[in-house]
Structure 1
């Protein structure tokens, strides 16, 4: 995947608009499901820390999309380790 396109999608996750965030989540999920190699591109942009922040947003659609993406990411050992490390360091506080 083109890194510039990935950055545009990743930037949607930072939007205060729930609609834009959900659109970004859907597009990222689609790209991860069609080609897991896209995960490395998204990880370099900080997808996992950003996804962990999104879990705290009070929106069911954002929560479902985020958890779906994190579950896809966690099929990769390095990504799973990153999620585990970030959660253990208090990055995710529920």
Structure 2
């Protein structure tokens, strides 16, 4: 990876996030394609897709339901840390 270049998983996470939050291509509750399909669609490995999905799940954009799939959260983009407390904890380290 080039110095200063974003990891593929971050690029994919941004594309998926933008499709949901900015372009409104997906609505709350919509199911995303499976990992294999998204890997082909984005031209990356399934590992990159998994990392992107985990990032978006942690940020409240996606919900992973075991054996059912990956879904857009009911309130996508709503942080699980609305007051930014994790930022304060990171500053203490």
Fold conserved between structures, TM > 0.5: no
Give the structure with the higher percent strand: 2
Give the structure with the higher percent helix: 1
TM-score under structure 2 length normalisation: 0.34
TM-score under structure 1 length normalisation: 0.34
Larger Rg: 2
